[in-house]
Amino acid sequence: MKTFACSVPTNVFFGAGEVSRAGELAVTLGKRAMLLAAKDTMRQLGFLERVEQLLTAAGIEVVVQDDVSPNPRDVDIDNQTRIFLEQQCDFTVGLGGGSAMDSAKAVAFLAGQGGGTISDYLAGGDHADLSDPAIRPACPIMVITTTAGTGSETTPWWVITNTTDHEKPGTGNSTTAARYAIVDPQLMLTIPASITASTGIDVLFHAMEAYLATIATPFTDLLAQEAIRIVMANLGTVLEDGSDLEARSQMAWANTLAGIAIGEGGSGTVGIHALGHSIGGQTDAAHGLTMAAVGPAFMRKTWDADISRYAQVSRMLGYDQGNLTEQQLAQKSAEALEQVLERFGCRITMTDLGVKEEMIEAMTDSVFKTMVGVLDCSLKPISREDVIALYRESL
Amino acid sequence: MKTFACSVPTNVFFGAGEVSRAGELAVTLGKRAMLLAAKDTMRQLGFLERVEQLLTAAGIEVVVQDDVSPNPRDVDIDNQTRIFLEQQCDFTVGLGGGSAMDSAKAVAFLAGQGGGTISDYLAGGDHADLSDPAIRPACPIMVITTTAGTGSETTPWWVITNTTDHEKPGTGNSTTAARYAIVDPQLMLTIPASITASTGIDVLFHAMEAYLATIATPFTDLLAQEAIRIVMANLGTVLEDGSDLEARSQMAWANTLAGIAIGEGGSGTVGIHALGHSIGGQTDAAHGLTMAAVGPAFMRKTWDADISRYAQVSRMLGYDQGNLTEQQLAQKSAEALEQVLERFGCRITMTDLGVKEEMIEAMTDSVFKTMVGVLDCSLKPISREDVIALYRESL
């Protein structure tokens, strides 16, 4: 067995009704919270008011910042952090999907540095190495997730769009994992089918990529395989009936497991996420769909890097075409993935997402500038030429 | 799905050679360490000197306390804590099996209270509720395990023998989990077969009981089932050839997983551990063997509390007698366990461990005084009469 580290730094509170804990947990983090939530939706659903009341009832002063956009931008974070510091907040609460949670992490991080410009700390910035001892710890973070996707609840990672060069770098350090994550499937019953699909597919990619990463460990393997099993058994059900609490709970749990798997160790995802992020930076497409667009090409390119793991992926994706050898099963992993994407309505091309061939050069630059650590976790080395070819194949 | 919490507060560093991290990790905990180790063995094996050197090389001042006995006693903890405080130590390092790790936790805890008498904090003592807000946090703890058993690396629990009334209560709170646990299978290559067996069986009981606990969660179920699978696949190998590093690694990993499973939530084990502990308090028998003595009777008593889980235990224990129904499989779980204990040389009675019938009354008192929280995690209620009957059956 290899050597590895294992821990789950976030305290996850999982289950229907668990959002009611928000107040009791928050009081351990400070007196004044900035509550970050996605624009409009959280208020329309009544979630914003509910969480605000829970916090207030626990004696927390709440600064509401419900202007989080779907792919949060550097300038938003700078502005929210300025308000956080002006209002002398102690901690952030992110309520929503990946955008709200990542904003909560980024604001808490930048506030920990005393404010400034978040892009200085993103890939390409002057202080991009967040493990530098000169970097101060983030302020405490609590997240309440309302989607079963992104895994942001349990990872230290956050993704902010750099508006200067249209990049979407992921970053984070050991202080930017949430102190508490509330995963309450009751908040997920009204997610529209399109978001259920794209976030559900994101869970599948997190788990599959964690299993196909050079830094996979027996711990991440265990969680990732269980997450894939649960997604395959439940994503169809929640797409048919979004109000099925048990199936929503299962998807939320799969997301939590996959999130823990990619939060462990150096990074957790591989080339699929590296390529997907740069599509997101250019097009604002839903995160999960960007992976769906490039995933099959990536599998086709890399399947022979580890026959046993790629064969196992095919099996876990339910690919069964008679008596295939391990080698054949591995080779068919791209096809297995395509069938699953088709089944869940996520078979899509980069062209569908608005990518034009002339963007590929800039997207490739972006991969190597912002996601090279993730790319290098792939089981096969991926060169610049490979990335261009993978993008072309996925148009 | 039920609601539950999930986290792994201990940072586990797993793998051959990982003991070399001891210094780099220790410097984050303070300047002066008390290194607690089992009497004689750790020095004979050279482990004590090695760890002392690693700590010293990192600039840590080390107070060596290598007088830990197999079942650490309250009076030892009081004495070691007095020295810890006199010597102005900052943190403890437990090097060895459960006894050394539990001593490190108990000393760090008592030192956190400013010293005193540990029995005041054990079941029956004046301050036995360690979740009381008046209880101060333990000093930091690091553990380096040299056995694949006990799970103490990753749990907040510690077990100290109360010498006044011969009890062996387990206790702990959220501050008594180790900050760092080093699990290095290279330190396990020379464990004698008898200890390999009794600790390996302990791992099996941790995992099996975690799976059969009222407080089981999807997270603990996943880890517990994987731990059982690994024990069944590897315990025979390490018993045949203790120097097999891969099999030792697998057992160490199973122990880590089972430890995480029983460290989550309120307690993790059930009636088998509750009854076993009280045998240990009376006889000083190896911890794992006490569970082996009472396990089958417990299964025979409780199998109908949850047919599906007990049937799954039979399957995981490799019990296969043709086309049994779920009900029959569950009913046979005691027999399945007996076969496994037989196979690993741990089929044993309480009489073999030195228990006499006249001790049963005191042992039963002890269960209800010190282990009732654990007992109540069993899937079936267990009365005082039941405990007496289970002990009688296990003589």
Identify which of B9, B185, B222 has the shortest CB distance to residue A222. Answer: B222
pLDDT of residue A151: 87
Collect all residues of chain A within an 8 Å Cβ-Cβ radius of residue B14.
Answer: 1, 3-6
Exposed e or buried b per residue across A73-103, where buried means at least 16 C-beta atoms within 10 angstroms of its C-beta: bbbbbbebbeebbeeebbbbbbbbbbbbbbb
Residue B112's pLDDT band (cuts 50, 70, 90): very high
Contact B5 A14 (CB under 8 A): yes
Chain A positions touching chain B (beta carbons under 8 Å): 1-18, 185, 218, 222-223, 226, 246, 249-250, 253, 256-257
Identify which of B6, B14, B15 has the shortest CB distance to residue A12. Answer: B6
pLDDT tens digits, B379-391: 999 999 999 999 9
Could you identify the residue written with the tokens 């709170």? B173
For the segment B265-273, the average pLDDT, to the nearest whole number, is 82
pLDDT of residue B218: 94
Residue B98 has pLDDT above 80, yes or no: yes
Q: Which residue of A has its CA nearest to B217?
A: A14
Residue B266's pLDDT band (cuts 50, 70, 90): low
Contact A250 B226 (CB under 8 A): no
B228/chain A closest Cα distance in angstroms: 13
Collect all residues of chain B within an 8 Å Cβ-Cβ radius of residue A15.
Answer: 1-4
> What DSSP character marks residue B130?
T
pLDDT tens digits, B41-67: 899 999 999 999 999 999 999 999 999
pLDDT tens digits, B156-188: 999 898 888 777 778 999 899 999 999 999 999
CATH number of B194-393: 1.20.1090.10
pLDDT of residue A10: 87
User: What whole-number distance in Å separates Cα of residue B50 and Cα of residue B46?
Assistant: 6
User: What whole-number distance in Å separates Cα of residue A70 and Cα of residue A98?
Assistant: 8
Greatest distance between any 2 Cα atoms in chain A? 66
pLDDT of residue B5: 84
Pairing of strands A4-14, B4-14: antiparallel
For chain A, what are the domain ranges?
11-188, 193-393
B42/chain A closest Cα distance in angstroms: 23
Contact B5 A16 (CB under 8 A): no
Closest CA to B340 of B381, B385, B299, B388: B299
Contact B222 A223 (CB under 8 A): yes
CATH topology of domain A11-188: Rossmann fold (3.40.50)
Identify which of A11, A185, A250 has the shortest CB distance to residue B7. Answer: A11
User: What whole-number distance in Å separates Cα of residue B346 and Cα of residue B276?
Assistant: 14
Identify which of A6, A11, A16 has the shortest CB distance to residue B14. Answer: A6
pLDDT of residue A322: 79
Give the contacts of A61 (CB within 8 A, at least 6 positions apart). Answer: A31, A32, A33
pLDDT of residue B392: 98
Residue B39's pLDDT band (cuts 50, 70, 90): confident
pLDDT of residue B15: 95
Structure tokens at B81: 């804590």
Identify which of B10, B16, B223 has the shortest CB distance to residue A7. Answer: B10
Q: Which residue of B has its CA nearest to A218?
A: B253
Structure tokens at B120: 């005041």
Per run of 10 residues, the mean pLDDT along chain A (length 395 residues) is 83 95 96 93 94 98 94 94 98 95 98 96 92 95 93 91 82 93 96 93 96 95 97 97 97 95 79 92 85 98 98 95 91 97 96 95 92 94 98 97
Enclosing H/E stretch for B208? helix B193-211
pLDDT of residue A248: 97
Contact A7 B9 (CB under 8 A): yes
Pairing of strands B32-38, B91-96: parallel
For the segment B65-75, the average pLDDT, to the nearest whole number, is 92
Residue B227's pLDDT band (cuts 50, 70, 90): very high
- Please state the three-class secondary structure of chain A as a single string: CCCEEEEEEEEEEECCCHHHHHHHHHCCCCCEEEEEEECCHHHHCCHHHHHHHHHHHCCCEEEEEEEECCCCEHHHHHHHHHHHHHCCCCEEEEEECHHHHHHHHHHHHHHHCCCCCHHHHCCCCCCCCCCCCCCCCCCCEEEEECCCCCCCCCCCCEECEECCCCECCEECCCCCCCCEEEECHHHHCCCCHHHHHHHHHHHHHHHHHHHCECCCCHHHHHHHHHHHHHHHHHHHHHHHCCCCHHHHHHHHHHHHHHHHHHHCCCCCCCHHHHHHHHHHHHHCCCHHHHHHHHHHHHHHHHHHHCHHHHHHHHHHCCCCCCCCCHHHHHHCHHHHHHHHHHHCCCCCCCCCCCCCHHHHHHHHHHHHHHCHHHHCCECCCCCHHHHHHHHHHCC
pLDDT tens digits, B280-326: 878 878 888 999 999 999 999 999 999 999 999 999 999 977 789 99
Identify which of A3, A18, A250 has the shortest CB distance to residue B3. Answer: A18
Greatest distance between any 2 Cα atoms in chain B? 66
ipTM, two decimals: 0.91
- Please state the three-class secondary structure of B254-273 as a single string: HHHHHHHHHHCCCCCCCHHH
pTM of the model: 0.93
Collect all residues of chain B within an 8 Å Cβ-Cβ radius of residue A10.
Answer: 7
Closest CA to B77 of B43, B109, B42, B31: B109
Backbone angles phi, psi at B226, to 5 degrees: -65, -40
Q: Which CATH class is domain A193-393?
A: mainly alpha
Asked, colleague to colleague, whether B11-188 and B194-393 share their fold, the answer is no
Best B8, B12, B221, B260 member to test A by mutation, with max A CBs in 10 Å, is: B8
B328/chain A closest Cα distance in angstroms: 28
Backbone angles phi, psi at B116, to 5 degrees: 120, -140
